[in-house]
Amino acid sequence: MRRKQKRLLRGAGILLPIFALPSPYGIGTFGKDAYRFVNFLSGSGVSYWQVLPIGPTSYGDSPYQSFSAFAGNPYFIDLDLLIEEGLLTSEEVSLDWGDDPSRVDYAKLYKNRFQVLKKAFSRSHFFESPSYRDFCRENPWLEDYAFYMALKMYFHAASWLLWPEEVRRRDPQTLRKYRTLLLQEIEFWKFCQFCFFRQWTALKTYAHEEGIEIIGDLPIYVSLDSADVWAQPSLFCLDESLKPKEVAGVPPDAFSATGQLWGNPLYNWEKMKEDHFFWWQQRMKFSAGLFDVIRMDHFIGIARYYAIPYGEKTAENGHWEKGPGKALLEAISPALGDSRLIAEDLGVVVPAVTRLRKSFGYPGMKVLQFAFDSTPKNPYLPDHYEQNCIVYCGTHDNETMSGFFAHQKPEILRFAKSYLGVHSRKELNWACIRAAYASAADLAVIQMQDLLSLGNEARMNYPSTISGNWCWRLKQGQLSSKLSQKLLDYAQLYDRKGGIFNERV
């Protein structure tokens, strides 16, 4: 008999990506402001910090399109910590990181960050230490990733599909030649990963000491332009020229009239079954070492997935295919260890998705922003929640709550105000936060932007668009003691000041 996952203990969380933290270097890092945020969480009665994917981003800067399913984003390496170690000077990091502290300037980051990190690498002796050698040995994905990034930089940042034929097809003699040629560059990318995971581990350890668990985000698909696809093309549905046969996305929905064309290559599930989904087992085991709870993005794709012919301009002409289902989940469940899984089951949910999720005990997701546009029977209204679920006011793909209510039809506003017991539109944002806290859901997670009552100028992502997303950042001074006390009052009032670490104590 399959053992179901234990439910999450009742608690509250805040969704704030690493890149959205304050820092003097243009993007959030694992430095002092990350530790300050942990302190804010702890003092606010919040038990969970949810982040977005932490992998190295590619074109479009989306954390859901990464150069690796395993590697970390070098942008998050804190430069002040490298200064403390004597690898950099204050003068060397005093560069133009952007003019607006509330927005990430990715162009300036790309221009300056790797130059600075290479200076640190040139002074480092990490590669002589036992801890560095252990890190390289314990992470078998590292060699392919570092080699891939070295090749990418050598070929002027081009996608691997545009590399010379012998390199694309991993001809052994050609690869030996390039490994020799790019030896130092390969070591640089390994150095970046060593720094990333060393700083991440220290931050996670501190969070645990403060009673905070980390919820990570696992994109179901990997990027076409990634070390994963280049290194193991047989695991993906590619044609003889190594181009995708079909790509991932979702059909037309509330987010987009033409659907969402993600462009990720689809998995060769039949091939993956041959070794009992070993690649997925390794991925889940690695993620379980990084996060206490793992939100599996697009869980629907496990039951069935949407396949769009490669080369289509929209997602309108795709078709549904049966996914690996319980065979995959049975293979990866042991790899989770003590970590737990959240199933992101938003979208077109067929009965098979719900049955699969419930058979493993995974909590699903509820989004309050979807609750007010129909009738009192809307399943996203809090009075319909089961306990084993996670409620969000909105996610990274939604408008902020203030932005959402600013343009709704009068009948939606009337229903929302009546349901939430308020009299004005301006009260709706915090009324939703309170409703999430008061609900039966085991976990209530609120975006930082909604806690600050910000409008759509602070929106994180507009699905089906490329430019201007993933840029919003928290500014210094926005985490007030007044906000902390309000959240603490809610946590105590609605019995959410818990979490697994507090129970252990």
- Residues annotated as catalytic are 297, 344, 397
Q: Which residues pair with 342 in a beta bridge?
A: 295
Confirm if 460 and 473 have CB atoms less than 8 A apart.
no
Scanning the structure block, which residue is given the tokens 């989940």? 329
| Pairing relationship of beta strands 319-322 and 340-343 according to DSSP bridges | unpaired
* Burial class for 242, CB neighbours closer than 10 Å (0-12, 13-18, 19+): middle
How many Å is the Cα radius of gyration of the chain? 23
Q: How far apart, in whole angstroms, are the C-alpha atoms of residue 240 and residue 237?
A: 10
Given CA atoms 217, 218, 220, 226 in this order, what sign does their dihedral have? positive
Helices 141-154 + 183-209 axis angle, to 10: 130
Given CA atoms 432, 435, 439, 444 in this order, what sign does their dihedral have? positive
Confirm if 345 and 304 have CB atoms less than 8 A apart.
no
Residues with Cβ within 8 Å of 384's Cβ and at least 6 positions away in sequence, in order, are 377, 378
Tokens of 184: 């130092």
CA atoms within 13 A on the CB side of 43: 13
The amino acid at 417: K
Which uninterrupted H or E stretch holds 334?
none
Q: How far apart, in whole angstroms, are the C-alpha atoms of residue 226 and residue 68?
A: 5
Residues with Cβ within 8 Å of 284's Cβ and at least 6 positions away in sequence, in order, are 294, 332, 335, 336
> Residue 411: how many CB atoms within 10 A of its CB?
10
Q: What backbone phi and psi angles, to 5 degrees, belong to 21?
A: -70, 155
* Burial class for 486, CB neighbours closer than 10 Å (0-12, 13-18, 19+): middle
At CB < 8 A and 24+ separation, what contacts does 54-61 make?
54/18, 54/200, 54/216, 54/290, 56/149, 57/106, 57/470, 58/223, 58/225, 58/226, 59/225, 59/466, 60/466, 60/467, 60/469, 61/104, 61/106, 61/469, 61/470, 61/471
- CA-based nearest residue to 420, from 410, 432, 408: 432
Residues with Cβ within 8 Å of 10's Cβ and at least 6 positions away in sequence, in order, are 442, 443, 495, 496, 498
